[in-house]
Amino acid sequence: MTTKQKIEQMIMPAFRQHTDRDGNRTDVTEVYPEMRELLEKHGFAGVMLFAQNTPTNEIAARLISDIRKASERPGRPDLFLAVDQEGGAVTRLGQGTQGPGNMALGATGDPELTYRMARLSAGELRALGFDMNAGPVLDVNSNPDNPVIGVRSFSDDPRTVAAHGIMYERGMRDEGIIPVLKHFPGHGDTATDSHTGLPCIRKTGEELENCELIPFRACLEDGAQAVMTAHIQFPCLSEAETIPGREEPFVLPATLSRPVLQGLIRERYPDTLIVTDSMGMAGVNQAFTPVQAAKRAILAGVDILLMPVDLARPDGPEKLEAYIDGLTSMAGSGEIPESVLDAAVDRILAVKGTHVFRTAAPGDTETVGSPAHHETEWEITKRAITLLKNRNGAIPLKPDTDVLIVVPFESEINSAKYALSRLEEEGNLATRGRIRIGCLENETDDGICKKLTEGGTLIAISAVYGPAYLRPDLPQGESLVRLDCIQVRARTLGCRIIRISAHLPYDTARFRDADAVLAAYCAKGMSEDPRFRENGVRGYGPNLPAALYLTLHKQPEFHGRLPVRIPE
């Protein structure tokens, strides 16, 4: 390879959206001319796809195949086709099986279920032609104020995260998908999102060894081949540097830090592929130009630079060309030693050499989001639902109880209807009373309260996505305030109160006056019944329906246990 070819092999772009000459931005579902030109010209490490690229199985499989064909050249290494189909809150396949998410899997207490879910998901990725998945998330969600990890984490206990992380990456590997462990050395104890800022974790090295690093060590020892870096400062690992143009000394984020990447990964696991998180995120661009940040990352030990340029912008292709040329020039001048490039490309090619690349064959995509997969997902999700409180036998419901279910968002109306339809089909609905649904998004509190029945049951569902949602003085906290007011009205009518925490379970600390409290760990609604695929299934989540199904069941069985501690 030439020096430029080595640089190209260390870059993994994304083509999420495209802006045409008239300024119209559209999702990329086929290879457009400028994209084809880049793929033909440059031998990239791979391409990262997102939800914009994969609305249906047919589109995803065709796009992956066309990307491969556009990049094919004699002697050029195959592309990694990557995605971050974590499951639960972060899913990309429009028609794929979404899964309950990591925190829900942690709540099952059974890593074997995590293996089953990961292997099912990996099989769907493989059927579409993917090779690589940015997961499992190994961040230990030890900070309840974390704005970006939350239910994407298995637990706030590092050993629980390790146990489920190992089974997740094994499930991926056993179906031929390369798992990428993230976000190294750990994004769990942050109160800043590295997409929009630069988080800093002020722990000692010993504290990191006893928490954040435990899951990563366990999975790397188990044979995982790749790890994704976090754009987070760790002052205990990286000394502050004087950077031209900055008044204060600057601690390099992990992605750019040689002590982090060399000291914690390369020296112990020399063959591990180190992939950055998106190089377009704010956390890695605080002190350097994009090309300077890339140089720092390469010198620190990075092998693949992920999404360095926003190719949705009209000038995106030009910027990517300048990015490649800038790094090539640095290598030519000795700023980046050729030996460093050689070692990185050797690691990339070594992983590619152990992998079988393929595209979707006719009939492969029929398994993606199939009814059988949804049933597996449903059974696993039910095992995660956690009953935290059940005073005076609020669950199961009395046979003649009228019920009002209140959901935060309109899409969750279908979640409630889905649970009810399953119960009615099975003959397992606990009550013969009237069941109504109210929605905070499109109804007033008075309108919802008119649906209450004296002596009935109120099932109030909250969805907390971060600490701001627990603040009654902030707009995000309005939903919880409204549910509290509806609960007060229900109490005056002698209603029993059941509260369901649909997303982050930290709101359960507020529900002391409720008769029953449950946690579900992912609040996604749904557009249609996922058991039927005539028009495709997009944006559904199994967690809330499973929680309502068990709440309204004649003989419910609850197996879930809280995987995180709930602050007072």
Tokens of 43: 């031998």
Is residue 265 within 8 A of residue 184, CB to CB? The reply is yes
Two tokens at 3? Answer: 């020096």
Q: Which of 110, 131, 189, 277 is catalytic?
A: 277
Query: Is residue 22 annotated as a catalytic residue, yes or no?
Result: no
For residue 355, give both structure tokens: 């992998």
Give just the sign of the alpha carbon dihedral 539, 540, 541, 547: positive
Q: What is the CA radius of gyration of the chain?
A: 25
- Contact (CB, 8 A) for 236 and 204: yes
Look at the block and give the residue holding tokens 């722990």: 203
Residues forming a β-bridge with 133: 83, 179
Peptide bond into 396 cis (omega under 30): yes
Give the residues across from 253 on adjacent strands. 233
What is the spatial distance between Cα 543 and Cα 464, in angstroms, rounded to a whole number?
Answer: 14
Q: How far is CA 472 from CA 238, 467, 468, in A?
A: 39, 11, 8
Task: State the Cα angle at 186 between 181 and 192, rounded to 5°.
Answer: 125
Distance of alpha carbon 494 from alpha carbon 535, whole angstroms: 43
- For 403, phi then psi, to 5°, come to -130, 140
195 in active site: yes
Residue 441 corresponds to which amino acid? E
Q: How many CB atoms lie within 10 A of CB 427?
A: 7
Helix (H/G/I), strand (E/B), else coil: 515:
coil
Q: Could you give the angle at the alpha carbon of 12 between the alpha carbons of 150 and 60, nearest 5°?
A: 75
The three-state secondary structure class of 172 is helix
Structure tokens at 249: 């000394």
Return the H-helix or E-strand segment holding 273. strand 273-275
Angle value at C-alpha 517, between 514 and 522, nearest 5 degrees: 135
In the DSSP assignment, the letter for residue 385 is: -
Q: How many CA atoms lie within 13 A of 281 on its CB side?
A: 22
The answer to whether the beta carbons of residues 506 and 470 sit under 8 Å apart is yes
CA distances from 208 to 82, 154, 212, 228, 489 (A): 29, 18, 5, 17, 48
Q: CB 534: neighbour CB atoms within 10 A?
A: 7
Among candidate residues 66, 195, 310, 484, the one labeled active-site is 195
Catalytic residues: 195, 277
